[in-house]
Amino acid sequence: MSGHIQAAPIEKKFFTTGVKILIAIFGIGMAFGLYRFIFSLGSVTHLNDQYPWGLWIGVDVSSGVALAAGGFTTAALIHIFYRDKYAVIGRPAHLTAMLGYTFVAIGLLFDLGRWYNVWHPLLPTMWQGNSVLFEVGMCVMLYLTVLYIEFIPIVTERFIGHSPKWIDAILKFLDRIFNKIMWIFIILGVLLSCLHQSSLGNLMVIAPYKMHPLWYTRVMPLLFLTSAIAVGLPMVMFESIWASWSFKRKPEMDVLSPLSKVAAVIIAIYFFMRIIDLTIREAWGFAFEGSLQSNMFFLEFVVGLVIPLIMLLFEKVRRSPKLLFIASALYILFGVLLNRVNVFFIAYQPQYAEKQYVPAIGEFAVTIGLIAALILLYRIIVSIFPILPAHEKQA
């Protein structure tokens, strides 16, 4: 993929303070995680019979899927719409998606009561086509496979000419084959993404009597898909600027500025969809009830949607790495991540619940630990494989 741009492994010191902190956070998270596997879900989480899903499903799984959308949006942009100038961000976006989905799968294991049965949906005897969750599961699994296949050319590029002759021959052979058929996987990846991003939104449609009207709508699948497409580009901008800062390079503003224009358009579409949906369903009244739900709605809608959208309308914001970073971060964290959290457990209001579910410390620890692990792996992989652009390598 994205072969036109010269990319190269990063050659920087690995064990910085930041990396050490990440390792510590990861360690703490895994301690809680281990505790959960030995002493049960109930010993670490605040989940109960009223709230069967919590932080792990809301963040590790569904937000993870949403935030990894950078992979398929850039793939579509670069390879399907042939916007070559964006090729430079293709590989980092692909790597994030690959790692993101890997961690979605790992995060899911923590949440499943019988995690060792996670492969059951693969058995045709257990296929359950009526289940929305089945579709989400299958698509995520297939997409993860596709993401790994798409990574092969990066591996071959790294090792061709750096390995013994016979391995070299195999790699070259692989490279040639994948060059020919990669387009199939690229389209397949985009297709599978569209499918599961939207069916993720269909998951809660099955609970019409439990969901708060500010979020419950039959078009949730469409809203999820649009917001996922819309989060892909800010995610890429966010990462790219962050990576530039932490490796002390100049941010790729010549690519990111035009990209932010595309992002603004898609976010605007999502914004209007939300407005129209809330208006048609006459749900605005609920926004002012002063409850936890209405406050969270405002946080999501104003901080996560209106503010970043307005920011992105200004040329000045689109040209400044710092402001662009802030606008992207707001939309990512409050517009999409908070939306998933809201849908999966703030909007979920079981009638017999005695008190609102609030995640336990252990749940936070595991989630943050997994995020730390993801960043660490990203850091390791970019120093082994040619992912980030090669120019200004030793800046």
Partner 1 sequence: MDLNRRNFLKFTVATGTMGAASAVQKVKASTPKPDSGDWAGVLLDTTVCIGCRKCEWACKNINKLPTEPIESYEDKSVFKKMRRPSAGAYTVVNQFENPKSPEKPYYVKYQCMQCIDAACVSACIVGALKKDAKTGAVIYDPWKCIGCRYCMVACPFQIPAYEYDNALTPQVRKSTFCYQRLSKYQGRPACVEICPVQAMTYGKRSELIEIARQKIRTYPDRYVDHIYGEHELGGTAWLYLSGKPMTEMGMKKFGERPIPTYTEPVQHGIFKHFVPQISLFALLGGIMWLFKKRDEVEGKREGGEE
Q: Which residues bind partner 1 (CB under 8 A)?
A: 3-4, 37-43, 45, 47-50, 52-53, 76, 79-82, 84, 111-115, 117-118, 120-121, 126-135, 137, 179-180, 182-183, 186-188, 190-191, 194-195, 199, 202-210, 218, 221, 348, 350-352
CA neighbor of 110 nearest in space, from 49, 31, 23, 48: 31
| Amino acid symbol at 44 | V
**Between 47 and 66, CB nearer to partner 1:** 47
Angle of helix 361-384 relative to helix 17-39, nearest 10 degrees, comes to: 130
**Between 51 and 238, CB nearer to partner 1:** 51
**Between 124 and 290, CB nearer to partner 1:** 124
**Between 262 and 377, CB nearer to partner 1:** 262
| Nearest distance from C-beta of residue 219 to partner 1, angstroms | 11
How far apart are alpha carbons 355 and 278 in whole angstroms? Answer: 27
| Amino acid symbol at 222 | L
| Amino acid symbol at 25 | I
| Nearest distance from C-beta of residue 10 to partner 1, angstroms | 23
Helix (H, G, I), strand (E, B) or coil at 348: strand
**Between 79 and 91, CB nearer to partner 1:** 79
Residue written as tokens 């899927």? 65
| Nearest distance from C-beta of residue 328 to partner 1, angstroms | 26
**Between 153 and 308, CB nearer to partner 1:** 153
| Nearest distance from C-beta of residue 104 to partner 1, angstroms | 14
Contacts of 284 (CB under 8 A, 6+ apart): 278
How far apart are alpha carbons 35 and 44 in whole angstroms? Answer: 7
**Between 126 and 358, CB nearer to partner 1:** 126
| Nearest distance from C-beta of residue 21 to partner 1, angstroms | 31
| Nearest distance from C-beta of residue 245 to partner 1, angstroms | 31
| Nearest distance from C-beta of residue 91 to partner 1, angstroms | 14
| Nearest distance from C-beta of residue 101 to partner 1, angstroms | 18
Residue written as tokens 């995680």? 33
30 vs 41, 262, 366, 367, 372, CA distance in Å?
14, 39, 6, 10, 11
**Between 108 and 241, CB nearer to partner 1:** 108
CA neighbor of 257 nearest in space, from 282, 233, 280: 233
Give me 115's structure tokens. 């995690």
| Residue 211 β-bridge partners | 348
CA neighbor of 194 nearest in space, from 153, 146, 154, 237: 146
| Nearest distance from C-beta of residue 126 to partner 1, angstroms | 4
**Between 190 and 366, CB nearer to partner 1:** 190
Contacts of 390 (CB under 8 A, 6+ apart): 6, 7, 8
What backbone torsions phi and psi does residue 351 show, to the nearest 5 degrees? -65, -25
**147-151 LR contacts (CB < 8 Å, sep 24+):** 147/71, 147/94, 147/97, 147/98, 147/101, 147/189, 148/98, 149/178, 149/185, 150/1, 150/75, 150/94, 150/98, 150/182, 150/185, 150/186, 150/189, 151/94, 151/95, 151/98
| Nearest distance from C-beta of residue 361 to partner 1, angstroms | 17
141 vs 137, 172, 183, 209, 369, CA distance in Å?
6, 28, 19, 30, 23
**Between 102 and 202, CB nearer to partner 1:** 202
